[in-house]
Amino acid sequence: MSMDINATIIVQAIHFSFAYIALKKLFFTPAVVIVLRERKKEKALQDQMRVCRMDMQHAEKRLVDLWAASRQELFLQLPLVQTTDLFVFKQIKPMLAAPKLDLAHERQLEASVAQALVSAVNHVR
């Protein structure tokens, strides 16, 4: 059983070699370069996101620490209120409130204020 190699097989091998080289040079190599470039960009973006997340966590921690320090400073600056002070304040608080006026007394006060304003304006003329 001998195998006959004719010209068709040789031509097909040459065509295959040309097609392989053409595809490798024109398609595979540029495609690999593009894929590698995109992977590099993706890795750079992931690194940048990681750095931003770390910066954000540090900023949040600084904010929490600043808030805690502010509260601590506020508590240090607040005066101490003694129970006797509270008792005294509770006793004088009703005296600090404005007295309740009945409607007739309010109308009388409005009329006297209005009369004083009219006399002051007439005096200016």
Inside any domain, residue 111: no
Inside any domain, residue 100: no
pTM: 0.43
Domains: count for the chain: 1
Inside any domain, residue 110: no
Q: What is the pLDDT of residue 123?
A: 61
Q: What is the pLDDT of residue 103?
A: 83
Q: Distance between CA 3 and CA 118 in Å, rounded? A: 133
Inside any domain, residue 94: no
H helices present in the chain, as ranges: 7-23, 29-77, 83-96, 103-124
Inside any domain, residue 101: no
Inside any domain, residue 48: yes
Structure tokens at 49: 């996101």
Domain span at 70: 1-80
Inside any domain, residue 120: no
pLDDT digits (tens, 9 = 90+) for 39-90: 999 999 999 999 999 999 999 999 999 999 988 888 777 766 566 666 666 6
Lowest mean pLDDT among 7-21, 85-99, 105-119: 85-99
Considering only residues 92 and 34, tell me which one the structure prediction assigns the higher pLDDT: 34
Inside any domain, residue 4: yes
Structure tokens at 120: 């002051």
